[in-house]
Structure 1
Amino acid sequence: MINGLAEYKKRWDIETDNAIKPGLDAIRSALGELGSPEAEGRFVHIAGTNGKGSTAAMLSAVLQAHGKSVGTFYSPGIIDLHDQIQINGEPISPQALDEAMKELSGIETALTDFELLTAAAYVHFRNASPDYVIIEAGMGGRFDSTNVIDPEVAIIPSVSKEHTNFLGEDIKDIACHKAGIIKKWRPVVAGPLEEQVMEVIREESQKQHAELIVPGTPYQGMLSLKGAHQQWNAQIALEAAKELLGTSFDGQLAQVALSKASIPYRFEAYAEGLIFDGAHNEASIDALVETIRAEFPEKSIRIAMGMLKDKPYEKVLRKLEAISDDFVFLDFNNPRALPAEKLFAVSNSKIKTIKNIYDILPVNGYGEVTIVTGSLYLLSTLKNPDVLFLKHYRNN
């Protein structure tokens, strides 16, 4: 479900295909009908399990600090589809997206919703002509609809188990999907990957004659984004920026840019004692737990969470129960959402309740921190101005 897409489909009488089909034939055919917008511009392609959005935001900040205009395509959206397509941090306007959808209304190739949005992004970036475009893969990489570009640099920040029904249960199979964004003679920057994953990335790099760049240490400067994992993402962004900018790269400009770079829902402090974090799989929960321990060693922690039913919710719960025995489970409106009752049933927490997100979620205040996590879709719903939960915090 892509929030806000239905309005454009209705306006331009666009029908989409509900079945997810492996392969790139449909998106390539559609883009061909549109004059191949994916062939214009200087692209960066990012695939990986976690760290894609943060790395993209930091790289964008560094490039902008050097006077470059930067388009970004994020997945998923925060509020709706407009913030998935950005230029210099500004979401695409309804008018600009309308222009792109108008072009798409004339094609004959049937696309899925995500393919449609991907095509719209490429059309918009062609129309706007930013200096660079950073593309975040939606799922996997090799057969993801974004993988129709020849990027200046490919980036793979992390690889762990996810979307196993599509990508496979074996970590090396998942790594193979991520490695699919590596292109011939184009450099690839990889994060601190486990050896069996790195083996796959290394083999694909050699096959494509692509230089493999692996930072030996994390970034040592100050960041606004919290967590040790963000230091690695920052260094990855720096290495990519050096490849893109060459001799014009300025380390001081980059340092200032990284200190200010931000992205919603990455350990975001919404109010005093209230943190939003979009962790939704085992690896990102591990990073969240580590960051909570580092940032709030003396605080009592309450976890408010809702998850999608295709995520490893029991394993996620066990990890979070290591730092808290106080949980609030949330129902939210998404066809893939796991009922809060299911989380309640499998939880080992001493204190646990179920709430609808449209109820006010109280925070006890001094001495306690509430972490809201489990799904970006949950957090984007909470950003809705009609949700009483947020009205409470705006008024206090």
Structure 2
Amino acid sequence: MINGLAEYKEKWNIATDNAIKPGLDAIRSALGELGNPETEGHFVHIAGTNGKGSTAAMLSAILQAHGKSVGTFYSPGIIDLHDQIQINGEPVSPEALGEVMRELSKIETPLTDFELLTAAAYVHFRNQSPDFAIIEAGMGGRFDSTNVIDPEVAIIPSISKEHTNFLGEEIKDIAYHKAGIIKKWRPAITGPLEGQAMQVIRQEAKKQHSDLIVPKTPYQGKLSLKGAHQHWNAQIALEAAKELLGTGYDAQIAQDALATATIPYRFEAYAEGLIFDGAHNEASIDALVETIQAEFPGRKVRIVMGMLKDKAYENVLRKLETTSGHFVFIDFDNPRALPAEKLFYASNSKIKTIKNIYDILPVNGYNEVTIVTGSLYLLSTLKRPDLPFLDHFSKGAKQLESPEE
């Protein structure tokens, strides 16, 4: 489900399928009808399990600091589809997206929802002509609908188990999908990958005659984004900027940009005592646990979470339970959402609570730090202006505890 897409489909009478259908035939056919906007411009393609959004945001900040205009296509959105398609950090306006959808309504090739949004991004970037466009793959890479470009640089920050029902159970299978964004004679940049994953990436880079760049150490400078893993993402962004800017690259400008670069829901302080973090798989939960321990040593922590059905939620719970014994499990409006009761009964925490999304209440004062995590869809729902979540949290209210087991 892509928030906000339905109204455009209804207005322009566009029929789509919201199912996930990996493959490139449909998107290539549709883009052909649109004049192949994916062939116009200078692209960066990012695939990987974690770090895609942060790396894209940091690279965008560096390029903008050098005076370049930058388009970005994120997946998923924060509030709705408008913030998935951005120019210089500004979400596409409803008017501009409406014009794009009007054009898309004329094509004959049937598309899925994500294919439609991907096509919309490429059309918008053609219309706006940014100096660079950074494209984040939706799932996998090789057969993801974004993989129709010939990028100046391919970036793979990390690889771990995810979407195993589509990508395969083994790391080497998942790496095969990620490696599909590496293109002939174009450089590729990766983070520190485990043995099998790196082997697959190296083989693909060799096959494509791609110069593979693997940073040996993380970035050592100051970052706004919290967590040791962000320093690896920052170094990857720096390497990409060097490739894209060539002799125009200025190290001091890049460092200044990294010091202020931000992205929503990456250990974001949303209010006093309230952190939003979009960790949603085992690898990102590992990074979240490490960051909690580094940022809040000795503090009590409450975990507020909701997850999607296709995630390894029991493993995620075991990891998070090393930081807290107080959990709040939430139902949220998404067809792929895991029922809160399943998280409740899978948890080993001593205190377990289940809350409806409209009734999330704060702890007593701010003695505990509240970490909201598990799904970007949950976080974006909580940030909707029509929900009273932040007001309730700031004012304080009675907390409803879980029933006795």
The residue aligned with 1:128 is: 128
Residue 201 of structure 2 is matched in structure 1 by 201
Aligned position for 2:192: 192
Q: Which residue of 1 aligns with 2:22?
A: 22
Separation in structure 2 between the aligned mates of residue 122 and residue 375 of structure 1, nearest angstrom:
26
State the AA in 1 paired with 2:378: L
Q: How far apart are residue 138 of structure 1 and its match?
A: 0.1
Q: Which residue of 2 aligns with 1:57?
A: 57
For residue 79 of structure 1, what is the aligned residue in structure 2?
A: 79
Deviation at 1:393, TM superposition (A): 4.0
Aligned length: 396
Q: How does 1:343-354 map to 2 (within 5 A)?
A: 343-354=343-354
Partners of 1:377 and 1:355 in 2: CA distance:
16
Deviation string 1:221-257 (CA, Å, 9 cap, x unpaired) is 0000000000000000000000000011001000110
In the other structure, the counterpart of 1:270 is 270
Q: Structure 1, residues 252-311: CA drift from partner, whole Å, max 9, x if none?
A: 000110000000000000111110000000000000000000000120111011111111
**Aligned equivalent of 2:257:** 257
Q: Aligned-pair distance for 1:388?
A: 1.9
Once residues 394 and 41 of structure 1 are traced to their aligned partners in structure 2, the CA distance between those partners, rounded to angstroms, is: 45
Aligned to 1:355: 355
1:44-86 Cα distance to aligned partner (Å, 9 max, x none): 0000000000000000000000000000000000000000000
SS of the equivalent of 1:355 reads: strand
After the TM superposition, list the runs of 4 or more consecutive aligned residues in structure 1 that deviate by more than 6 angstroms: none
Distance 2:148 2:365 in 1: 49
Could you tell me how far 1:395 is from its partner in structure 2? Answer: 5.6
Match of 2:32 in 1: 32
Name the residue aligned to 2:169.
169
The alpha-carbon deviation at position 365 of structure 1 amounts to 2.8
Say whether the 8 Å CA contact 1:218–1:232 is kept in structure 2: yes
Q: What's the CA shift for 1:112?
A: 0.1
Residue of structure 1 in register with 2:66 after alignment: 66
CA contact (8 A) 1:225 1:262 kept: yes
* Shift in Å, 1:389: 1.5
Question: Offset of 1:360 from its aligned partner?
Answer: 3.5
Aligned residue for 2:369, secondary structure, equals strand
Contact 2:279 2:285 in 1 (8 A): yes
Q: Please list every run of 5 or more consecutive structure 2 residues that lacks an aligned counterpart in the other structure.
A: 397-405
Give ranges in structure 1 of 5+ residues lacking alignment.
none
Aligned match of 1:330: 330
2:108 match: 108
Q: For residue 259 of structure 1, what is the amino acid of its counterpart? A: A
Q: Distance in 2 between matches of 1:64 and 1:393?
A: 35
Superposed displacement of residue 363, structure 1: 2.4
- What code does the residue aligned with 2:332 have? F
**CA offsets per residue over residues 187-221 of structure 1, 9 Å max, x none?**
00000100110000000000000000000000000
Q: Which amino acid aligns with 2:326?
A: D
Partner of 1:118: 118
Q: Corresponding residue for 1:47?
A: 47
Name the CA distance, whole Å, in 1 between partners of 2:38 and 2:83: 20
| 8 Å CA contact 1:273, 1:363 repeated in 2 | no
Equivalent pair of 1:385/1:391 in contact (CA under 8 Å)? no
Structure 2 residue 126 is the aligned partner of structure 1 residue 142: no
Q: Deviations over 1:105-139 (max 9, x none)?
A: 00000000000000000000000000000000000
TM-score, with length taken from structure 2: 0.96
Give me the whole-angstrom Cα distance separating, in 2, the residues matched to 1:17 and 1:300. 45
CA contact (8 A) 2:361 2:393 kept: no
Change (3 A) 1:295 1:253: same
Distance in 2 between residues matched to 1:292 and 1:19, nearest whole Å: 36
Taking a change above 3 Å as real, the CA distance of residues 235 and 348 of structure 1, as seen in their structure-2 partners, is same
Distance 1:177 1:207 in 2: 15
1:56 is paired with a residue whose SS is helix
Q: Give the direction of change, closer, same or farther, for the CA distance of 1:269–1:188 in structure 2 (3 Å limit).
A: same
Paired letter, 1:153: V
Identical amino acids, percent of aligned pairs: 83
2:216 paired with 1:228? no
Cα distance between partner residues in 2 of 1:7 and 1:22? 24
The 2-side partners of 1:128 and 1:329 are apart by 42
Q: What is the deviation of 1:392?
A: 2.3
Q: Distance in 2 between matches of 1:156 and 1:94?
A: 31
Partner Cα separation in structure 1 for residue 365 and residue 66 of structure 2: 42
1:314 maps to: 314
Q: Is the 8 A contact 1:147 1:181 kept in 2?
A: yes
Q: Could you tell which deviates more after superposition, 60-69 or 338-347?
A: 338-347
Distance 2:292 2:208 in 1: 40
Q: Distance in 2 between matches of 1:158 and 1:365?
A: 38
Q: Which amino acid aligns with 1:116?
A: L
Q: One-letter code of the match for 1:305?
A: M
Q: Does 1:373 align with 2:354?
A: no
Letter of the aligned partner of 1:251 in structure 2?
Answer: A
- Three-state SS of the structure 1 residue aligned to 2:76 is coil
State how far apart, in whole Å, the 1-side matches of 2:308 and 2:122 are: 29
* Distance of aligned partners of 1:98 and 1:316 in 2 relative to their CA distance in 1, 3 Å threshold: same
Distance across 2 between alignment mates of 1:316 and 1:306: 11
